[in-house]
Amino acid sequence: MAYTEQRITSIQRWSEKNFSFTTTRPEKFQFDNGEFVTLGLRQEGKLIARAYSIVSTNEDDHLEFFSIHVPDGPLTSRLVNIREGEGVWINSKPTGSLTLKYLQPGRNLYLLATGTGLAPFISLIRDPEVYRQYEKVILVHTVRTKVELAYKEQIRSLTGEHLVYVPTVTRETFENSARVSDLFCSGELFSNIGLPVADPQYDRVMLCGNPHMLDEMTAYLESGGWTMTNYKGVGNFTIEKAFVLAKEG
């Protein structure tokens, strides 16, 4: 894999656990909105790298990433202390299954995220193409505490006729304390936002977040007749598995 060293251009600290950072964009680096790339730091000559979804869009002149800080994590325990102007190594080959080409055309697009699983969806909701392909885009983001609702103001600035934002907080008093999977599976989500219950014939779903949520939602959707996109073909829901094997990223 080919890595190039890029420079940190800004850092945003959302909470003790979460932070974002922007970097310079490698020359000729191309990607589809919703994809991820591996990035890392060199420690004693060894590159420590993890998969990170790209928050910025493919039209931006920089790259943006959203990270959790794991105190003992080989990468994030160091990445959290990085400063503007310092270097980070970025792979030249982006990939991922949370792009528009991984879903059949449909009516409404549901983006269901927990924690830093929000990252690829920020890129997607900034992309005008997603609103040309779907009547409505519904972004549901579940976190434990209110300060972990990263990007909430940016998301709210984009909401309107075509984008619906549903933040939920599970461990503090908040207007909505249900988990994203509970909201979707119980049908409460649809009554709350005034839309028909998601139907595999018409609607599409993307999932990104913790392994438990991915497993729970996959089982629920498949039992309801939904088909996951895989090597056999494009379905009506898709998940990002890259982070299941690299939980600290």
Order of strands across the sheet with 87-91? 46-53, 36-43, 87-91, 3-13, 18-24, 62-68
Q: What is the pLDDT of residue 64?
A: 98
Instruction: Calculate the CA 53 to chain-centre distance.
Output: 6
Distance between alpha carbon 150 and the CA centroid of its chain, in Å? 11
Do the beta carbons of residue 122 and residue 154 sit within 8 Å?
yes
pLDDT of residue 231: 86
Give the domains, in start order, of the chain with CATH numbers. Answer: 3-91 (2.40.30.10), 100-239 (3.40.50.80)
Per-residue pLDDT of the chain in tens (249 residues, 90 and over written 9): 699 999 999 999 999 999 999 999 999 999 999 999 999 999 888 999 999 999 999 999 999 999 999 888 899 999 999 999 999 999 999 999 999 999 999 999 999 999 999 999 999 999 999 999 999 999 999 999 999 999 999 999 999 999 999 999 999 999 999 999 999 999 999 999 999 999 999 999 999 999 999 999 999 999 999 999 998 899 999 999 775 433 333
Question: What is the pLDDT at residue 143?
Answer: 97
pLDDT, position 1: 60
**β 108-114/204-208 pair status:** parallel
Rounded-to-integer distance, Cα 97 and Cα 56, Å: 17
Digit-coded pLDDT (tens) for 124-175: 999 999 999 999 999 999 999 999 999 999 999 999 999 999 999 999 999 9
Terminal alpha carbon distance of the chain: 18
- Residue 244: its pLDDT value, please? 43
